[in-house]
Amino acid sequence: MHKRESLSLILLLPNMVTILGLCAGLTSIRYVLVGRYDIAAALIIFAAVIDGLDGLLARRLNAASDIGGELDSLSDFLCFGVAPGILVFQFALSRDFVTGWMFVLIYVCCACLRLARFNVSRDETPPVGKPHFVGVPAPAGAMLALFPLFLTQQNVLDARSYPEVFGIWIVLVAWLMISKVPTLSSKAIRVKREWQVVVLLAAAVVVGLMVTRFWLLLVLLDLAYATITLVAVIRHFRKPKALRG
């Protein structure tokens, strides 16, 4: 009996991690309400890290379940749809309430549609070719949506001075989330043995920047992902229309 109870606790671990991410998203909204946009953004990033961890735990512990999948999707909607939307609105778009709120509604609704599409296609046969996502995943979409805020925190520019540009940017990100553009999946990344030392050094640099230049690291990561996604968009629209899926 004791062994069975211990095993059940282990199987609940991925769901507990998912709830931790959900709490990070909710706490992010709380910090938005008191004007601490830096902490709010950092909590969304923490939720994105947690989002990758709970799935990994579920696979390693063979603890995947239907309720875990639904819980993960609901957490993702709050952490990468609702929380970034509220953060972006309060940070830069609230001066023109109607227009700014419309931009945010478009983003949040597209995040919801992205996650709904993922849920209904979860058990379908994987796409042909290298592993890839269809459209930008919600966590990556949230990171792209917050890119102007990262630039502001790094003192590159003040995105609050350009609310229209910020609004158009999040609408573009919203379109990327619900598009059929094949985008980068971590499952497609294969590191050759001779490159392992380089990867380890790169990881050490990332950790160093995370401690010393956190916002600069986020700007660089967003720039890299945006560039990769732009290349994917160009390749997608260069294909004949019948082959775009």
User: What distance lies between CA 27 and its chain's CA centroid?
Assistant: 17
User: What distance lies between CA 116 and its chain's CA centroid?
Assistant: 15
Q: Is the pLDDT of residue 42 over 70?
A: yes
Work out the mean pLDDT of the chain and round it to a whole number: 85
Q: Is the pLDDT of residue 32 over 80?
A: yes
Q: Is the pLDDT of residue 189 over 90?
A: no
Q: Is the pLDDT of residue 192 over 50?
A: yes
First to last CA, the chain: 52
Residue 213 corresponds to which tokens in the numbers above? 């230049």
CA dihedral over 37, 43, 47, 49, signed as positive or negative? positive
pLDDT in tens, 116-154: 988 887 666 666 667 678 889 999 999 999 999 999 999
pLDDT in tens, 83-101: 999 999 999 998 888 899 9
**Beta strands at 132-134 and 182-184: parallel, antiparallel or unpaired:** antiparallel
Domains of the chain by start residue, with CATH = 2-243 (1.20.120.1760)
If you average pLDDT over residues 55-65, what whole number do you get?
75
Residue 149 corresponds to which tokens in the numbers above? 């805020």
Q: Is the pLDDT of residue 4 over 50?
A: no
The region of weakest confidence among 43-47, 71-75, 123-127, 158-162 is 123-127
pLDDT of the residue at 2: 47
Q: Please report the DSSP string for 183-236 in residue order.
A: EE-GGG----GGGHHHHHHHHHHHHHHHHH-HHHHHHHHHHHHHHHHHHHHHHH
Give the contacts of 46 (CB within 8 A, at least 6 positions apart). 21, 24
Burial 161-193 (b: 16+ CB within 10 A, else e): eebeebbebbbebbbbbbbebbbbeeeeeeeee
pLDDT of the residue at 158: 92
- Give pairs for 60-64: CB < 8 Å, separation 24+: 61/10, 61/11, 61/13, 61/14, 63/10, 63/11, 63/12, 63/13, 63/14, 64/14
| Confidence category of residue 194, pLDDT binned at 50, 70, 90 | low
Check residue 128 and report its DSSP letter. S
Between 57 and 232, the higher pLDDT residue: 232
